[in-house]
Amino acid sequence: MATRTDFGPPDYREMLPPVIKANYGKWLYHERPQPGVLKHVAESGDALYTVRVGSERLLSTDKVRELCDLAEKYCGGYLRFTSRHNIEFLVSDANLLAPLLGELKARGLPVGGTGHSITNIVHTQGWVHCHTPATDASGVVKAVMDELFDYFGTMDLPAYCRISLACCLNMCGAVHCSDIAILGIHRKPPQINHDIVKAKCEIPNVIAACPTGAIRPDPARKSLTVNEDRCMYCGNCYTMCPGMPVADSAGDGVSIWVGGKVSNTRGGPAFSRLVIPYLPNTPPRWPETVAAVKNIVEVWAKHARKHERMGEWIERIGWERFFELSGIPFAEQLIDDFTTAPETYRTTAAFKW
Amino acid sequence: MADEMKTPLLDDLEKGRWPSFVTDLKQAAAKKASAKDLMGQLEKSYVDRIGHWKHGGIVGVKGYGGGVIGRYTDMPGDFPGVEHFHTIRVNQPSGWFYNTKALRELCEVWDKHGSGLTNFHGATGDIILLGTTTDHLQPCFDDLANIGFDLGGSGSALRTPSACVGPARCEWACFDSLDVCHTITNAFQSQLHRPMFPYKFKIKISGCSNDCVAAIARSDMSIIGTWKGNIRINQDEVRACAQGGMNIQAEVVDLCPTHCMGWDGTTLTLDDRECNRCMHCINLMPKALRQGVERGASILVGGKAPIVHGALLGWVAVPFIKLEPPYDELLEFINKVFDWWDENGKMRERLGELINRQGMGKFLKAMGLKPAPQMIKRPRANPYYFWREGVN
């Protein structure tokens, strides 16, 4: 049989439970009866309860089947996943809501992630399966979520707080617009393997891949040189060329960024800003990173006004006050010197002490 | 390898209340030598504080140039089970909805051909099947095809588009984000499966400006729902919010970015002409406030993560477009963008970087779009502009 190609994804319409098919595009409003539970009401009067469950994202087929068992028992055999790796059970029979919540609790599957909670951390592959990581992903996320667990199942924070992790600057997780971003970074220039560069790499493409123009041809060796003063270890050259490895056991670690968001509410989308340029990779539980994230969450939770996201709070009080309240030392790396720098310098004589 | 594998560092991550990926690894390792060696290698990474995967590798299935990411351990002697451990990206159904029959079939295929480990989902939206050998790739794809699952995008191609939950379960969907995602994905199968662009191209689709799929931050083309006309107010429900403890003045009116609302204790007023449709008030009072009836989307272009020349948020290119089947105008616009970028983009130059290099004016002209104040935050502050025949 000839291989079939380009037939596209399964039709989503086959994946929708009857209550959704019946009320598609006709939802009227929703409520949050309790943390982790949404109640959507349609024009028809039909109600759909969504139970949101935190997930480790890296799932065994056994775990997927466990989720299927639950979906078959309580949801007519339908479920969905969210853009933040959560699982959503779609309950159309209100009588099954309490038993589902009971069974989830018994199985240790956490319910939460709605409203002003800390929901699941969007993250990448890390050491589990990526070839350019500067840190692990699943392990850091597990350690941080264990520590912030109570915020997942409650909705008492001032506003939404989205935490994301990317294990290198490639940012498959696009963490750069998160309330708190955990980003793996390298701190050493690539260690050039001239034999590999010569044999396997397109020299002009590697040169063009460098954002700071640090890479130059080395015609004598049919290879490349790196101006180490200009290199900021982004690793893009390694992505292009296996002869430019940038990962380093002692150099690699984690950076922390705050104050970004994607929704258009109020002030609109914003980038996260660097506040901690480096924390070490300390498996299995990355205690420095966990403590830094927890501190930022707690300082924000204590001082922010209702509905004020991390970035909105910081912009109101001023970055100088943020560093004072958080106790985070102001590092020189926080002052931008890339092409985007001028817009970040203070252009007013009005500031706080 | 030894039967008694010790993974004390990973074992520590089975403690605590958040679900542990280590438990999943162990479940798979009980059945598959590859998963067991993956655990061994990961433990080694935890000790060494560095990854142990070699650089890339080109593997694939017949007819496609992407969808499979080659992965090889740098320690094949110690961990032969992950000597080849390739990732397969499987195109998810719109909105990540599943029936359990489809999921169970998927599990069966993956238990037959791979490690039994998955991601639901990868950051771009695909189902990720983590780890199989080169000889299993084609048979695995054939079995996936038999149960109706196709591969997603990788490399310098259109990446798998993704969409929010949309009208399936959200009253704020201003268009059918699931159908638009499905339509785009099917319309551009070749661009998805055969990398031929300067670099990756991501399309993300959010039904409203809450932007649950973070389209504006991480997609070259963001399709974000919006509306025209007046927000529909149910004053009884507004009063019910107030009686329920919401401070309408402080939480809604004072936080409105355009200051277009008023509240006298009994009636909420809204100067809709001044509303910029940010969703704040609607988010707070879903029972009391509904979007206007004329709905559609804004299209933003250029969003991306930092590599190569810095992160960009999407820029408004099409302030408003009606999105109804068969979506011809949208598909035509996407085609035009592909053509212009393909023709002008350098290797590894994302759309936003190309627009930045060539100028937004050139992009708008090539797209046949009329410049409008909705496209900018503010006009230029420098006098370095051109004045030539044919400028818009």
Q: What is the pLDDT of residues B184-243, one digit of tens each?
A: 999 999 999 999 999 999 999 999 999 999 999 999 999 999 999 999 999 999 999 999
Asked if B251 and A139 come within 8 Å (Cβ–Cβ), the reply is no
Least CB–CB distance from B100: residue in A72, A169, A260: A72
Q: Are B181 and B205 in contact (CB under 8 A)?
A: yes
User: Which H/E stretch holds residue B204?
Assistant: strand B203-206
B263–chain A nearest CA distance, Å: 18
Low-confidence residues of chain B: pLDDT under 50 = 1-2, 392
Where does chain A have alpha helices with state H?
18-23, 61-74, 97-107, 138-147, 149-152, 194-200, 203-208, 236-240, 287-303, 310-317, 319-326
Asked if B94 and A12 come within 8 Å (Cβ–Cβ), the reply is yes
Q: Are A141 and A254 in contact (CB under 8 A)?
A: no
Q: Which of B390, B388, B389 is nearest to B364 (CA)?
A: B390
Residues of A in contact with B190 (CB under 8 A): 6
- A2 vs A9: CA distance, rounded Å: 19
Token duo for residue B246: 């919401």
The DSSP output letter for B197 is: S
Residues 291-310 of A with CB under 8 A from B: 306-307
Residue entry with tokens 């990206």: B89
pLDDT given at position B389: 66
Name the residue in chain A with its Cα closest to that of B23: A60
pLDDT given at position B1: 45
Q: Are A44 and A28 in contact (CB under 8 A)?
A: no
Strands B203-206 and B221-228: parallel
Least CB–CB distance from B169: residue in A12, A27, A239: A27
Edge-to-edge strand list for the sheet holding B97-99: A27-34, A37-42, A47-53, A87-91, A78-81, B97-99
Q: Are A139 and B46 in contact (CB under 8 A)?
A: yes
Quick check: A130 contacting B, CB < 8 Å? yes
pLDDT given at position B390: 59
- A209 vs B348: CA distance, rounded Å: 7
The H helix count followed by the E strand count for chain B is 13, 14
Asked if A128 and B42 come within 8 Å (Cβ–Cβ), the reply is yes
Residues of A in contact with B142 (CB under 8 A): 3
Quick check: A265 contacting B, CB < 8 Å? yes
The DSSP output letter for B348 is: T
B256–chain A nearest CA distance, Å: 6
Quick check: A219 contacting B, CB < 8 Å? no
Quick check: A59 contacting B, CB < 8 Å? yes
Quick check: A209 contacting B, CB < 8 Å? yes
pLDDT given at position A172: 82
Name the residue in chain B with its Cα closest to that of A209: B308
B392–chain A nearest CA distance, Å: 28
Low-confidence residues of chain A: pLDDT under 70 = 1-2
pLDDT given at position B4: 72
Identify the three-state secondary structure at position A151.
helix
Token duo for residue B289: 């406030």
- B46 vs B41: CA distance, rounded Å: 9
Beta bridge partners of A273: A258
Q: Which of B26, B188, B186 is nearest to B115 (CA)?
A: B26
Residues 309-348 of A with CB under 8 A from B: 338-340
Asked if B309 and A339 come within 8 Å (Cβ–Cβ), the reply is yes
Asked if A122 and B162 come within 8 Å (Cβ–Cβ), the reply is no
- Please return the burial class of B391, using the count of CB atoms within 10 Å of its CB with bins 0-12, 13-18 and 19+: exposed
Residues of A in contact with B52 (CB under 8 A): 127
- A318 vs A302: CA distance, rounded Å: 16
- Reported ipTM: 0.97
Quick check: A139 contacting B, CB < 8 Å? yes
User: Which H/E stretch holds residue B206?
Assistant: strand B203-206
B31–chain A nearest CA distance, Å: 10
Least CB–CB distance from A29: residue in B138, B171, B179: B171
B268–chain A nearest CA distance, Å: 18
pLDDT given at position B388: 72
Residue entry with tokens 């961990």: B79
Asked if B28 and A61 come within 8 Å (Cβ–Cβ), the reply is yes
| φ, ψ for residue A208, nearest 5 deg | -70, -20
For an interface test with B, the pick among A263, A294, A340 (most B C-beta atoms closer than 10 Å) comes out as A263
Neighbours of A168 (CB within 10 A): 32
Name the residue in chain B with its Cα closest to that of A82: B96
Q: What is the pTM of this model?
A: 0.97
Beta bridge partners of A166: A183
- A108 vs A100: CA distance, rounded Å: 12
Name the residue in chain A with its Cα closest to that of B190: A6
Token duo for residue B89: 């990206």
- A302 vs A296: CA distance, rounded Å: 10
Residues of A in contact with B47 (CB under 8 A): 283
pLDDT given at position A321: 98
Strands B203-206 and B162-163: parallel
A238–chain B nearest CA distance, Å: 8
